[in-house]
């Protein structure tokens, strides 16, 4: 009887994945339009919904919940809430939470993905290093004391980007492709936000950064789910 109840519960949660995914992208679309129109009221409603929706999607699709991934989504959710404000204090706090989020994600991926070796890692770091140097040169004076926080973000993203690209070079499977594209989208979104805040404010930058962030976050979720499936399959084969 317990197995039957568990089966129907599993079926119900699985069927919720598609509707929740549709709602996630619908809310994201409304949020992007709100950013384009600088509609603060609508942004305040839609932005806080995105990460809870993604947590719900992950909760329904995962066989075993990775609570570190859920914690990372909560970190970025707090960062998104703080980013609603244009106050520099809130922006710095949001950047700090986003850094914690990136560190958690990096820890999760390092546990899941095999170390590519030092040469692929160094080669993979090069494009991200050049991009961060370029942005740092543009915004160094404007960043002032906040440059240290930007540099910390940069170091994490360079190592993480190199790790993801190195893995993709060695094995370009579906999950590694998702991870690499997600990392590129996050990096691009961060560059756009830094340039917008400290160098050149253009209206299209904020909605574009949100589009990249929403897409990158969904691809990261897909990577986590795919890797968890592969690990379960590997364990099942070993048990046999």
Q: What is the pTM of this model?
A: 0.87
Residue 142 is predicted with a pLDDT of 67
Residue 240 is predicted with a pLDDT of 58
Residues 224 and 110: their CA atoms lie apart, in Å, by 12
Residue 4 is predicted with a pLDDT of 39
Alpha helix (H) residue ranges in the chain? 2-15, 17-36, 40-61, 67-83, 88-112, 118-143, 147-170, 174-198, 205-239
Radius of gyration of the chain (CA): 19
Q: 164-191: buried (b, 16+ CB within 10 Å) or exposed (e) per residue?
A: bbbbbbeeeeebbebbbbbbbbbbbbbb
Residue 229 is predicted with a pLDDT of 85
Q: What is the dihedral of CA 180, 181, 183, 188, to 10 degrees?
A: 140
What contacts 55, CB < 8 A, 6 or more positions away?
A: 70, 73, 74
pLDDT tens by residue, the chain, 240 residues: 434 334 434 555 678 889 999 999 999 999 999 998 888 889 889 999 999 999 999 998 888 889 999 999 999 999 888 877 767 777 788 888 988 999 999 999 998 888 888 888 899 999 999 888 887 777 777 666 667 777 888 888 899 999 999 999 888 889 999 999 999 999 898 888 777 766 666 778 888 999 999 999 999 999 999 998 887 776 666 665
Residue 237 is predicted with a pLDDT of 64
């Amino acid at each position: 009887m317990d197995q039957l109840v568990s089966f129907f519960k599993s079926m119900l949660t699985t069927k919720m994945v598609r509707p929740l995914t549709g709602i996630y992208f619908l809310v994201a679309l409304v949020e992007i339009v709100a950013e384009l129109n600088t509609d603060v009221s609508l942004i305040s409603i839609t932005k806080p919904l995105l990460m809870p929706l993604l947590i719900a999607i992950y909760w329904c699709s995962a066989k075993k919940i990775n609570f570190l991934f859920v914690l990372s989504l909560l970190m970025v959710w707090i960062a998104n809430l703080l980013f609603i404000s244009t106050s520099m204090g809130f922006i710095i706090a949001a950047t700090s939470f986003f850094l914690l989020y990136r560190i958690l994600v990096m820890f999760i991926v390092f546990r899941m993905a095999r170390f590519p070796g030092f040469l692929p890692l160094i080669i993979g770091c090069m494009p991200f290093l050049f991009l961060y140097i370029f942005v740092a040169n543009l915004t160094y004076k404007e960043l002032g004391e906040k440059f240290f926080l930007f540099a910390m973000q940069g170091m994490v993203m360079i190592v993480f980007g190199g790790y993801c690209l190195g893995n993709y070079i060695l094995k370009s499977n579906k999950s590694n492709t998702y991870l690499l594209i997600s990392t590129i989208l996050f990096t691009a979104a961060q560059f756009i936000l830094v340039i917008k805040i400290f160098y050149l404010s253009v209206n299209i930058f904020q909605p574009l950064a949100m589009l990249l962030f929403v897409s990158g976050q969904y691809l990261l979720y897909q990577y986590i789910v795919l890797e968890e499936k592969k690990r379960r399959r590997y364990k099942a084969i070993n048990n046999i």
